[in-house]
Amino acid sequence: MRVLRITELDHIVLNVKNIDRTLDFYTGILGLKGERIQEFKDGKVGFPSVRINEHTLIDLNPVKADTRSPPAGEKAEGNLNHFCLVVEKEDFSGIVDYLREHNVSIRQGPISRWGARGRATSVYFLDPEGNEIEIRCY
């Protein structure tokens, strides 16, 4: 039986109501480097990020202040938008079939997305609690 081998955490995405305050916290207090901040302010990208290390980011996803949780069985909408795990090419090959064989529905992908090391191909799905997971391959 094939087993998926996760190699690292690429990024997490936090839902944020006040981007400026959150950026000040992560860059000023925690000392993380802000990325894509000006591009976000210019409307060129959908969110800014802060870098933990060479391979790991925290993306700051702007949400409306009145965001509420959906009914049971749908994606949970808390502060964590989703988290991203990295696999090697041999484990990504056939990932959609692999997940479907394990009764996991694909929400999106394969699709090209930006991450801690640039563009990669990603697939999105939910865990049993409704938390969204992204698996990607660079």
Q: Report which secondary-structure segment, H or E, holds 106.
A: strand 106-115
At position 138, the amino acid (one-letter code) is Y
Residues 115-131: tens digit of each pLDDT: 888 999 999 988 766 77
Q: Which domains does the chain have, with CATH numbers?
A: 6-69+78-137 (3.10.180.10)
Does the global pTM surpass 0.75?
no
Residue 130 has what pLDDT?
A: 77
How far apart are alpha carbons 112 and 119 in whole angstroms? Answer: 6
Residues 12-26: tens digit of each pLDDT: 988 888 889 889 878
Task: Tell me if residue 91 falls in helix, strand or coil.
Answer: helix
How far apart are alpha carbons 32 and 99 in whole angstroms? Answer: 35
Question: Within 13 Å, how many C-alpha atoms sit on residue 40's CB side?
Answer: 16
Given pLDDT bands bounded at 50, 70 and 90, which one contains residue 138?
Answer: very high
How far apart are alpha carbons 11 and 76 in whole angstroms? Answer: 18
Residue 102 has what pLDDT?
A: 84
